[in-house]
Structure formats: C-alpha cells, structure tokens
C-alpha cells in the first residue's frame, strides 16, 4: 500500500486565490512527522512546513498552512493568496517513528500552476 498518496497530478489556481493540495498517509506508528516540500523547475527541494503527529494545532508558516486531520490521516497543504512564483511541483512526505535521521517517504507530487 502507498504510504503517501497525492491524488492530484496537476492543479491550477488563479493568482491571489487560495489552493489546497491533498495528501493522505498510511502508518501504524503513533509517532510520525509530515512535511511539505516545493520543487521549482530548477530542481531544488524547498522545505515549506512540518506537522508532528502529536501536535495539537495545525502548522502555519506565512502563506502556508497544513490542514491536519489525524483521524482521516490527511495532511493537506493550503496556500493562501497564490503568487506566480508558487508554480512548482509540491511533494508531501512522511517520517515514521521518533528520533532524527529517519528516511522520508514521498508522495508522487502535485504540479501547481498559478494563472495570471
């Protein structure tokens, strides 16, 4: 079974609108971390936001927020006030288990295009 599922291969959003990128995960470990990364056409992976499994509140970082629904095992990324520079591939990733130095499992990604 897929550990991280991103069901939207491509998304379009109008500039200045908000957009939600979906991510569901599957794990039996009670301790895990969820990450979102942005990959522009240059290829670099840019860390956006983190949500820990024990965090009570949804994570927010500037225009990025993570809609964490633990019972549904979903961790959707919300980008508010989209900008042209937000056009990129977005990956959801999970680290299972406590402690550092554990590998990440990535979803297949969502290509976001912001329209002027």
Partner 1 sequence: GAVVSQHPSRVICKSGTSVKIECRSLDFQATTMFWYRQFPKQSLMLMATSNEGSKATYEQGVEKDKFLINHASLTLSTLTVTSAHPEDSSFYICSAYETGYTDTQYFGPGTRLTVL
Q: From 18-26, 67-75, 79-87, 107-115, give the range in contact with partner 1 by CB under 8 A.
A: 107-115
Residues within window 36-75 making contact with partner 1, judged by CB under 8 A: 37, 42-47, 50, 52
Regarding 35 and contact with partner 1 (CB under 8 A), the answer is yes
* Collapsed DSSP state (helix, strand, coil) of residue 103: coil
Q: Which is nearer to partner 1, 72 or 102 (CB)?
A: 102
User: How far is Cα 61 from Cα 52, in angstroms, rounded to an integer?
Assistant: 14
Residues within window 79-98 making contact with partner 1, judged by CB under 8 A: 91, 95
**Rounded-to-10 torsion of CA 43, 113, 3, 45:** 20
Judged on CB neighbours under 10 Å (0-12, 13-18, 19+), 19 is buried
CB of 17 to partner 1, least distance (A): 25
CB–CB of 89/27 below 8 Å?
no
Q: How many residues of this chain bind partner 1 (CB under 8 A)?
A: 23
Q: Which is nearer to partner 1, 12 or 18 (CB)?
A: 12
DSSP-assigned letters across all residues of 32-43: EEEEEEEE-TT-
Site of interaction with partner 1 (CB under 8 A): 33, 35, 37, 42-47, 50, 52, 91, 95, 99-104, 106-109
């Amino acid at each position: 079974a897929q550990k991280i599922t991103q069901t939207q291969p491509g998304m379009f959003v109008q500039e200045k609108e908000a957009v939600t990128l979906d991510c569901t995960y599957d794990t039996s470990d009670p301790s895990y971390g969820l990450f979102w990364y942005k990959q522009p056409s240059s290829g670099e992976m840019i860390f956006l936001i983190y949500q820990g499994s024990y965090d009570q509140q949804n994570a927010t970082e500037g225009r990025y927020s993570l809609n964490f629904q633990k019972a549904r095992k979903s961790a959707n990324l919300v980008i508010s006030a989209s900008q042209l520079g937000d056009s990129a591939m977005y990956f959801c990733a999970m680290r299972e288990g406590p402690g550092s130095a554990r590998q990440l499992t990535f979803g297949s990604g969502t290509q976001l295009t912001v329209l002027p």
